[in-house]
Amino acid sequence: MIRPSTRLTRLLGAPLVIACAGRPSLHTTSAPGLAAAESLYADLRDIRDHIDVTLASGHTGINDATPVAAWVENHNTLRRSVAARLAEIDSAYLEVEDGRALSVMRRALVGDLDSLVPPTAVAVASAPPNCAYEAQEMLGLPKGLDSLRARAYACYGWAQSHVVVGADTLDRLTILGTLGRTADPARRRQLFLALEPVWRSVNGDNRAISPYRVLGAETHRQQKGPLPSLVQVSASGVSPDSLEPWLLAMLETWRKAGPDSLIEPWNWYYRMGEASRVLSGRISRERLTQLNATVYRSLGADVEKLGIHYDVEPREGKTPVAYTTFGARPRFMNGAWRQGEPWIFATYRTGGLDNLSELLHETGHAVHIAAIRTRPAFADWPDSDPFTEALADFVALEVTEPAWQHQWLGDSVPLSQGLRARYSGIVMDVAWALFEMRMQRDPAADPNQVWTTLTRDYLRIRPHPELSWWAMRGQLVHAPGYMMNYAAGAMLIAAIRARTRELHGQFTTGDRTWYGWIAPRLFRYGQERPSRQVIEEFLGGPVTPAAILADMGRR
Ligand SMILES: [Zn+2]
């Protein structure tokens, strides 16, 4: 996951300067006004990134000595100055790429780089949010839709990290992980149903006044132009018209590979957890972070040398999703590249195969953004979220490969079990993506019905229309359409991985030349080039689902 609503961090000493590797693509501008403005813009990014990761690390300056308020003031002053300089530049006199850089920076100033207000004690209190609210009434407030979204997400965040099972308070991911390891079906049912307050935080009792349904209806009412999820997918080179049939082809392929009988949802998680049951015991909490670093080192990406920071301990008030962001961006200064500082935020109480897979995914984001080599205007996530999510899974997908398991865990499961583990999460994401697509198309539909139909027809999960069990992904509330990025991203990365094996060779059991080969081809661009172009040049043609369907069908 990338780009949560709030991001935070910690202060660093002198930034590391590394030698420039390969040919930097600097495109230094010949427009003097633009060059000066862009340099200030990079300074502004530095301050902002730093504030974001400081806050995300739990240092708000309210109960500690972090001078966040002073940084925020500096940020806002600098922002005004950058805005004034950018406003003075006449784009008519710029070369094409400079003109694009100018418009990217102007857009960022009113988006990601909007003015900040210092955190207040109220905003950062770790007390439970007030979740006894009427969704419809919140729409009457100024910025009603944003307020409702923020409230629903806060309530979801609280609920998903305070799931009560008997005498224990657990978080959602721990519950789902435990389902995969619990042999007793009655206990599995109890654990699954313990998630009910999480579902309720999003969808109440599934009446039309539920937060999710009110959000959906209002978003639909205010929506102009194509759905945001389809814009993102198009930017990766997947045609919106092909998307739905391709996603359905993935689900069909999945259905053909499994038994036809219906299974309870709590038992589905158990069945999909077979690989994890066999192998998780080999990954302690301590081994989790070590193994993550070792695997990337074997591919030529040393997480320490790349300046990647990990904030993965449990903490009250921490954002409920795992994500990666910039603590600083790679920047060409004084004749050399200053290293970036990717930050990873997640919460791990235990080790296990599933947490390892997530950590490898987040580290996949981090090694990607550590390799960006472009001018400040373009030093950002690419213009396609599916592409970004796909790249994060480049290495993470290996955990289900028997040869990888043998190499790193000293034991392995059969290919069929490995593939089931690889694709169970993906087909679930595909189901969520189709769910959102259908709900966005028809916000008056009953979400429980839409979900149970999809999961019955394709995943062969017994319908429970009385349960809103789809309502346990924060993205559904916080970033509508985001699930599509995972679904389209799965298709993309299967194609990219197959192409890498074809052009460069196998990397499953390690390849120290992998990072050095991939980075200049796929990682370095940021927003310098459209993702679609980067992808199609790498693949030698347009994206198709051929690679993922072939991989799903391996025997
Ligand atoms: Zn991600």
| 163-203 pLDDT per residue, tens | 999 889 988 988 998 899 899 999 999 999 999 999 999 99
- pLDDT at residue 401 greater than cutoff 80: yes
- pLDDT at residue 238 greater than cutoff 80: yes
Q: Where are the alpha helices (DSSP H) in 323-414?
A: 353-370, 385-396, 402-409
| Tokens read off for 486 | 């995972």
- pLDDT at residue 3 greater than cutoff 70: no
Give the list of residues 6+ apart from residue 73 with CB closer than 8 angstroms, or none. none
User: What is the pLDDT, as a whole number, of residue 16?
Assistant: 33
- pLDDT at residue 8 greater than cutoff 80: no
User: What is the pLDDT, as a whole number, of residue 4?
Assistant: 43
Q: Report d(CA 228, CA 485) in Å as an integer.
A: 11
Distance 362 CA to ligand 1 centre (A): 6
- pLDDT at residue 229 greater than cutoff 80: no
Q: Could you read off the pLDDT of 315-335 as tens digits, one per residue?
A: 887 876 799 999 999 999 999
Q: How confident is the model at residue 14 (pLDDT cuts 50, 70, 90)?
A: very low
Q: Classify strands 341-345 and 309-311 as parallel, antiparallel or unpaired.
A: parallel
User: What is the pLDDT, as a whole number, of residue 118?
Assistant: 83
- pLDDT at residue 11 greater than cutoff 90: no
Distance 19 CA to ligand 1 centre (A): 29
- Are the C-beta atoms of 3 and 381 separated by less than 8 Å? yes
Q: Could you read off the pLDDT of 361-378 as tens digits, one per residue?
A: 999 999 999 999 999 999
Q: What is the mean pLDDT of residues 101-123?
A: 87
Distance 94 CA to ligand 1 centre (A): 36
User: What is the pLDDT, as a whole number, of residue 27?
Assistant: 52
Secondary structure of the chain: what % helix, strand, coil (to 5)? 55, 5, 35
* Best mean pLDDT range from 27-31, 44-48, 108-112, 163-167: 44-48
Q: What is the mean pLDDT of residues 19-33?
A: 53
Mean pLDDT of the chain: 91
Distance 534 CA to ligand 1 centre (A): 19
Phi, psi (degrees; rounded to nearest 5) at 169: -110, 120
Distance 35 CA to ligand 1 centre (A): 33
Q: How confident is the model at residue 126 (pLDDT cuts 50, 70, 90)?
A: low
Q: Which residues of 327-350 are buried (b: 16+ CB within 10 A; e: fewer)?
A: bbbbbbeeeebbbbbbbbbbbbee
Q: What is the mean pLDDT of residues 116-138?
A: 81
Q: How confident is the model at residue 7 (pLDDT cuts 50, 70, 90)?
A: very low
Distance 36 CA to ligand 1 centre (A): 34
- Are the C-beta atoms of 423 and 554 separated by less than 8 Å? no
Give pTM, 2 decimals.
Answer: 0.86
Distance 404 CA to ligand 1 centre (A): 21
Give the list of residues 6+ apart from residue 25 with CB closer than 8 angstroms, or none. 373, 374, 524, 525, 528
Q: Return the sign of the alpha-carbon dihedral for residues 468, 472, 474, 475.
A: negative
| Tokens read off for 119 | 């955190």
DSSP secondary structure, 41-74, as one string: HHHHHHHHHHHHHHHHTT--SSSS---HHHHHHH
Q: Could you read off the pLDDT of 464-481 as tens digits, one per residue?
A: 999 999 999 999 999 888
Distance 2 CA to ligand 1 centre (A): 5
Distance 454 CA to ligand 1 centre (A): 24
- pLDDT at residue 22 greater than cutoff 60: no
Distance 220 CA to ligand 1 centre (A): 26
Distance 476 CA to ligand 1 centre (A): 15
